Homo-oligomer: A and B are copies of this chain.
Amino acid sequence: MSNEMTALEEITEEGLGIGGGIGAKIETPVIVLNEKAYAESKGEKGFELAEICEEVADETGANIAICPQQAELALIASVVNIPCFAQHVDAVEPGSHTGFTTLESVKDAGAAGSLVNHSEHRLKIADIEYIIKKAASLDLLTIVCTNNIAVSRAVAELKPYAIAVEPPELIGTGQAVSKVDPGIVENTVKEVKEVDAESIVLCGAGVTNGEDVRAAIALGADGVLLASGVVKAVDPKAVLLDLVSGLR
């Protein structure tokens, strides 16, 4: 190993504590970064990404939360002071469930909560309800992903902490929220808040730059959920700084 310290070593020099992220409630408007299972967000790269997010949050005062790769959750949550979320959690009680992730272990890992029902990891409705209720009892936050207005209303009945909507008009088409019919995001936010006025609503598609973030916020969203735009960027910090500029 060379003389240069790795990102992890630099961070851990400052001390490491399980649960550093616990209780670090996210405030809005917020940018939530889903690191998925990308090659660009695991191991050493995952640390660099976490460090960059922490830096940008510190430097700009913006609210940034990250969802590290599942096997690295406790490690990343131990070394950064921004809120960390699990990417997924299973609807099981602690016990004989080899390879499953309980809300209790997510909490002990120092995470602030979990993504739930991501489009790449859909859940049964009974399990979503179980997770939302159980998480609330553990002071963990749930960000539940939904695919259209009908499902968003249904999930709102379950009273999660936040709903991340992916309006179908913004997915796949590569359309930006700042360019399309403003009614799309506006209606989704309105419908969700009609069912649960306290629900936070994140815009989960069509966001790649600060202009999109500004447009989403202007249309009523409390923040954005994004992934590859930052994780796969040549210069993630520059992209993140641009995104953050849209929060103000």
Contacts and interface: CB of A to CB of B under 8 A. Distances in A.
Contacts of A158: 150-151, 154
Contacts of A92: 37
A183 interface: no
A65 to B, nearest CB: 15
A117 interface: yes
A31 B191 CA distance: 35
A233 to B, nearest CB: 15
A78 interface: yes
Count of chain copies = 4
Contact of A42 (B37, B43, B102, B156): B102
Contacts of A226: none
Interface in A1-32: 6, 8-9, 12, 16-19
Contact of A120 (B97, B156, B157): B97
Contact of A98 (B17, B36, B73): B36
A157 B99 CA distance: 24
Closest CB pairs A-B (n = 6): A88-B99, A43-B108, A87-B99, A39-B94, A75-B75, A98-B118
Interface of A: 6, 8-9, 12, 16-19, 34, 36-39, 42-44, 46-47, 67, 69-76, 78, 86-88, 92, 94-102, 104-106, 108-109, 111, 115, 117-129, 133, 147-148, 150-151, 153-159, 195, 227-228
28 contacts: A8-B16, A9-B16, A37-B97, A42-B108, A43-B105, A70-B105, A71-B109, A71-B111, A72-B73, A74-B76, A75-B78, A88-B99, A96-B120, A96-B228, A98-B119, A98-B121, A100-B120, A117-B126, A122-B124, A122-B127, A123-B124, A124-B124, A124-B125, A125-B154, A129-B147, A129-B151, A151-B158, A154-B155
